[in-house]
Amino acid sequence: MTFSFFSKKRFDHFFFLAIFSLIIFSCNQPEPEPIKLDRIAYVSDGIIHVAGLKDGTHTKVGKGAEPSISFDGRYLAYVSNVGNKQRIAILDFPNRNTSIIDNVQGTSWGPVWSPAENRYLFSARVQGQGNEYRVVIVGHTREDKKYVLSRPGIDIFSPSWAPDGQTVYGHDGRFVYQWEKTGHLVNHFSLEEKFGRLNFNSSTIILPSPDGSHWLIATGAEEPAGRPRRSTLTLYFFDEESMTIKKVSPDNVLIGEVSWGEDNNTIIFSGKDRRNQRQNDLYLLFLHENTVKPLQKNAVQPFFRTIEVAQAK
C-alpha cells in the first residue's frame, strides 16, 4: 500500500511538471510570421474585380468604380452611382454588407484606405466663399465622425496616405500639403522646388512609396475629375535620399492610372501598348530593371494592397 501511494504521488508530480513545462515552452515560442497576401482590385467593363497576383484567387464584386482595399483585406471602398450622384460605398467582405456614405454634400470619388487601420479618405466638392471646391474627407468604419482636410477656397488634388497612416498628403498644383488625419495642417512644400518644373495640374498624381523613401509623380493633360482618362500620363520617380528625379515611363505604352505595387520597385498601371488599341490593360513596371510585364487584359483603375494574415500557432 505504501508503495502504491507514493507511486501515485510521484506520477501526479511528474504529470504536473510536464504540463507546466509545456505551457512555459508554448509561451516562450515566438509568434509565427504573418502570411503576406497580395491583392489587386481593378475594373473591367464596369465591374469591380479583386484578385491575387500569385495565388490565383479571384472575386467578382459587382458594378462600381475606383476600388480600394483596406489594410486588413476586410473592406472594399468604391464609387457607386446613387441616383444622380456619385457616392462612396463600403463593402464588408465577411458580412457581405454594403453601406453608402450619403452624409457628404455633392459628388464623392477616389476612396483610398489607410495603410495602418480601417480608416479611409476620399475627395468631395463643397460650397464655400461662394465657390465650389474640392476637399478631402477622412472617415472610419466604426466612427460616425468625419474630418475635412482642406484649404478654404482651394482645390485639393490627389490625396494619399503617408506610409504610417497618421497623416495625409494632397496638392493644389503649386504646393503639397500634409495634414493630420483629423484635419490639422502640419506641413507644406512647393512642388516645383522639390520635384522640378513639371506639368503640375489637377490631373497630377503624387504618391509616396510604401516606405516613404520615394515619390511617384504622374503628370499629363488636365482632365475633369470622375471621368476616364483620355490623355497619357508621364511617370517620374523621385528619390528622397539623393533628391533626384528621373522619368520612368515606358516608351511603348500609353499610361492611364497608376498605383504602387508591393514594394518600392514596382508600379501597377493601366495603359495601351499601341495607339490603336481600344481597351486598356494592366501592366507591372519594375523600376530597377526598367521592364514591363502584362498583368490583366481589359482592365483599368488598379489598386494594390499587401495584406498580412496571422498564422495559427
Q: Say which CATH number the domain at 119 has.
A: 2.120.10.30
* Amino acid letter, residue 129: Q
Same domain, 17 and 80: no
Least confident of 113-122, 139-148, 222-231, 278-287: 222-231
Number of domains in the chain: 2
- Taking only the tens place, the pLDDT of each residue in 180-194 is 999 999 999 999 999
Same domain, 12 and 44: no
Same domain, 113 and 26: no
Which one, of 249, 266, 267, lies nearest residue 258 by Cα? 267
pLDDT: which is higher, 309 or 244 = 244
Same domain, 19 and 121: no
Would the CA dihedral through 154, 155, 158, 164 be positive or negative?
positive
Same domain, 79 and 162: yes
Would the CA dihedral through 202, 222, 194, 117 be positive or negative?
positive
Residue 29, classed as helix, strand or coil, is coil
Average confidence score pLDDT of the chain: 87
Res 6 pLDDT > 90: no
pLDDT: which is higher, 66 or 105 = 66
Beta strands in 83-202 (DSSP E): 85-92, 97-101, 108-113, 119-128, 131-140, 143-149, 157-161, 167-171, 175-180, 185-190
Ranked by mean pLDDT, which of 104-108, 131-135, 290-294, 296-300 comes out on top?
Answer: 296-300
Angle at 113 between CA 268 and CA 239, to 5 degrees: 50
Res 15 pLDDT > 60: no
- Taking only the tens place, the pLDDT of each residue in 225-247 is 655 566 689 999 999 999 999 99
* Amino acid letter, residue 246: K
As a whole number, mean pLDDT of residues 191-216 equals 95
Domain containing residue 273: 35-309
The β-bridge partners of 136 are: 123, 149
Say if residues 154 and 173 touch (Cβ distance below 8 Å): no
Same domain, 93 and 9: no
133-140 contacts, C-beta under 8 A, 24 or more apart: 134/225, 136/168, 136/170, 136/179, 137/104, 137/108, 138/168, 138/181, 138/182, 138/183, 139/101
Say if residues 226 and 238 touch (Cβ distance below 8 Å): no
Res 311 pLDDT > 90: no
All three cell numbers of 177, joined, read 500639403
As a whole number, mean pLDDT of residues 35-52 equals 95
Same domain, 5 and 140: no
Same domain, 70 and 181: yes
Same domain, 192 and 298: yes
Same domain, 13 and 134: no
Give the pLDDT confidence score for residue 175 in this predicted structure: 98
Same domain, 261 and 149: yes
Same domain, 4 and 145: no
Q: Can you tell me the distance from the alpha carbon of 147 to that of 184, in angstroms, rounded to the nearest whole number? A: 10
Give the pLDDT confidence score for residue 128 in this predicted structure: 73
pTM of the model: 0.86
